[in-house]
């Protein structure tokens, strides 16, 4: 029987790790608390159209340092699930929506959506994945567990490996508020585009306004350009951190007010305006190691909290980290399985 691996989290790191483990002949089950895979590669469907309200796009290192990720993106492009960002050179986005990429990656994996893992318990040298009521999730025990969640969520799950938990306990994720707004008339017209990666860190610790990035959804590849103009407004880490518990309606008001100040004409009343809080949006100081692996306990961690590299996007870091951890698991598990 093939060794069994549980992967907690179906963002890019978990999906990349799971695919590599499956390709190596291991039996893999992914558990994810969301309704869809992908983490911040997310799309919200509404009555006025879709919004990519998480990562607007992702970049590949320009110097080609990591040919593996560049080659993988080329395969995604050939499959028609990503296309070049028409606004940001060197960046890519999902087609027709941002969540098309993780959906395609998850299609050939055993992903259990809407499942919240509360603990991981070890019994007789194997692992059980448990929910909040201590009920066993999945189909029995696992030979190894991979935790592919934000660092703050991973630490309690890594209690079985104090060393791994200690490494991630020092990692801090920045939050980000995003507003999805649409206009039938009186849509914003910006004198200068306000563009940047998700939750771009401002040079000043006291930015002039809450907005970090404004993106028009209608102009993206394979998007319907008719109907309401749909915009995603993302706030700076500074503003998001200082307004983390603000009521969502107040967040909408603040970001729309800032957008109105930047627009060359008066804004009409939006027909849709909803805020979403990403509590763990970006990791400003990732761990230098590519991943965490406790070989003795067969427990590992991966994600964008690893692979510190100023030239890599969070999506690239997550993919590289997931693949690196899969290599560790593949190298360790066959020998472990023979010993049982």
Please give the domain boundaries of the chain with CATH numbers for all domains: 4-41+99-171+284-339 (3.50.50.60), 174-282 (3.90.660.10)
**CA gap 97, 44 in Å, rounded:** 9
pLDDT tens digits for range 237-280: 999 999 999 999 999 999 999 999 888 889 999 999 999 999 99
Q: Please list, in sequence order, all residues whose beta carbon lies within 8 angstroms of the beta carbon of residue 340, skipping any fewer than 6 positions away.
A: 125
pLDDT tens digits for range 124-153: 889 999 999 999 999 889 999 999 999 999
Higher pLDDT, 94 or 336: 94
Helix axes 12-23, 314-339, angle to 10 degrees: 40
Q: Decide if pLDDT at 197 tops 50.
A: no
> What is the rounded average pLDDT of the residues 66-94?
91
Higher pLDDT, 237 or 207: 237
Residue matched to tokens 């055993």: 110
**Tell me, what's the pLDDT at 76?**
97
**Tell me, what's the pLDDT at 201?**
41
- Strand blocks (E) in 14-88: 27-31, 44-46, 49-51, 58-59, 82-84
């Amino acid at each position: 029987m093939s060794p069994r691996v549980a992967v907690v989290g179906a963002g890019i790191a978990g999906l990349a790790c799971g695919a590599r483990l499956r390709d190596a002949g291991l039996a893999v089950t992914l558990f994810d608390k969301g309704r869809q895979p992908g983490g911040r590669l997310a799309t919200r469907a509404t009555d006025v159209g879709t919004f990519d309200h998480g990562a607007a796009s992702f970049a590949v290192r320009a110097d080609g340092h990591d040919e593996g990720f560049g080659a993988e993106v080329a395969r995604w492009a050939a499959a028609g699930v990503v296309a070049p960002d028409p606004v940001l050179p060197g960046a890519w986005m999902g087609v027709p929506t941002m969540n098309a990429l993780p959906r395609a990656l998850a299609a050939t994996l055993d992903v259990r959506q809407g499942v919240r893992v509360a603990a991981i318990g070890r019994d007789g040298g194997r692992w059980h994945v448990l929910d909040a009521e201590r009920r066993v999730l999945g189909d029995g025990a696992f030979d190894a567990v991979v935790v592919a969640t934000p660092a703050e969520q991973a630490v309690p799950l890594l209690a079985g490996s104090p060393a791994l938990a200690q490494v991630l306990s020092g990692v801090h994720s920045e939050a980000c508020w995003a507003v999805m707004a649409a206009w039938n008339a009186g849509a914003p017209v910006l004198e200068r585009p306000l563009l940047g990666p998700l939750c771009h860190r401002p040079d000043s610790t006291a930015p002039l306004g809450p907005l970090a990035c404004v993106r028009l959804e209608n102009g993206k590849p394979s998007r319907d350009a008719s109907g309401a103009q749909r915009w995603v407004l993302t706030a700076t880490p500074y503003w998001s951190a200082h307004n983390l518990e603000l009521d969502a309606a107040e967040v909408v008001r603040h970001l729309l007010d800032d957008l109105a100040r930047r627009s060359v004409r008066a804004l009409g009343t939006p027909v849709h305006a909803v805020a979403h809080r990403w509590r763990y949006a970006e990791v400003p100081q990732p761990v230098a190691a590519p991943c965490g692996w406790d070989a003795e306990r067969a427990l590992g961690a991966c994600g964008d909290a690893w692979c510190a590299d100023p030239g890599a996007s969070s999506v690239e870091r997550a993919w590289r980290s997931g693949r690196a951890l899969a290599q560790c698991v593949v190298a360790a598990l066959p020998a472990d399985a023979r010993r049982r």
